[in-house]
Amino acid sequence: MVRVPTCLYVLDFFIAYCTCIDAVHRRLDDKNESGSSEETPLFGTCTRKTVVNEAGIKKVYKEIKKEFHQIVQRSKELAQSDIFGAAIRLAFHDAGEIDITKSDSFGPDGCLSNTGPNSGLIQPETVVQSVFIPMWQKYCDRISRADFFVLLGKLAAERADLSRTINIPFQYGRKDNDFCDGGAGRLPAHQPGFSEFQRVFINQMGLTMNDAVALLGAHTVGHVHPQYSGFGNKDEANFFHVRYADNAWDETPEVFDNQYYKSLLMEVSQYYDVSTLSILTYFSSF
């Protein structure tokens, strides 16, 4: 039997979750259900009519993939880690505001709540607002914002995988919301603990604890930014970092691998119980 690399399992599950969750949480209708009083959508709107079909998706998929790789190629190694981290975090945060016990339409809908947990994704100077959203505007007549976010996560994971073994299927058809403050409070807190894991990943998203720990592996790319999260060295608070692992979760922030788990085991393993250690050891052993 072929042993599946940890990085493939984590991202395959992650993108599959973003891809399929709206199949089990189908919108009751197309109306905006957020009840928000905002006048301007957080990520703007498409100024052209959006027509999504198979032929158009196949073409726009190739165009977006080409442009994404060009952006990465033009970026220095350190900036690449911020691009990868932002793309993967964006896809998860969009999907992560779902609650399968509710009947609203939040989830992978191309929209985030304007709240603290999404800080670093919604400010004007971030990669999302300054690079990704202008990029989407070029193609918004052929792909929804929600599909675009998932596609970025897929492309980032595949490009950051040095083994080139990740090849994640892409499905389209997600619908956009413009206002999502109704999903506030659904993402996990910065320092959750197991009670928060239970609330968010298991009760709210319908995952297992192993699934939740697998999703944490996405922290292997990117950096923390003190100006948004409060974590990290505040002397290195530039959005694009100047040293290899400034405020990164591990020593290879531009590579999708299992170093995040290994760093947890090496640095803070004394704080874990036996069951937690066994899960982390499993994911770090590939």
User: Annotated catalytic sites, by residue?
Assistant: 93
Nearest to 201 by CA among 76, 21, 29: 21
Please provide the distance, in angstroms rounded to a whole number, between the alpha carbons at the two ends of the chain. Answer: 14
Cα-based distances in Å from 242 to 76, 132, 248? 10, 22, 12
Cα-based distances in Å from 129 to 26, 55, 125, 140, 222? 28, 28, 7, 15, 17
Tokens of 84: 């990868």
Q: Could you tell me how far CA 2 lies from the centroid of its own chain?
A: 28
C-beta neighbour count of 5 within 10 angstroms: 18
Cα-based distances in Å from 231 to 101, 135, 141, 236, 247? 32, 29, 38, 11, 8
Tokens of 117: 């947990």
Tokens of 9: 């399992």
Given a contact cutoff of 8 angstroms between Cβ atoms, the answer to whether 165 and 173 are in contact is no
Given a contact cutoff of 8 angstroms between Cβ atoms, the answer to whether 168 and 12 are in contact is yes
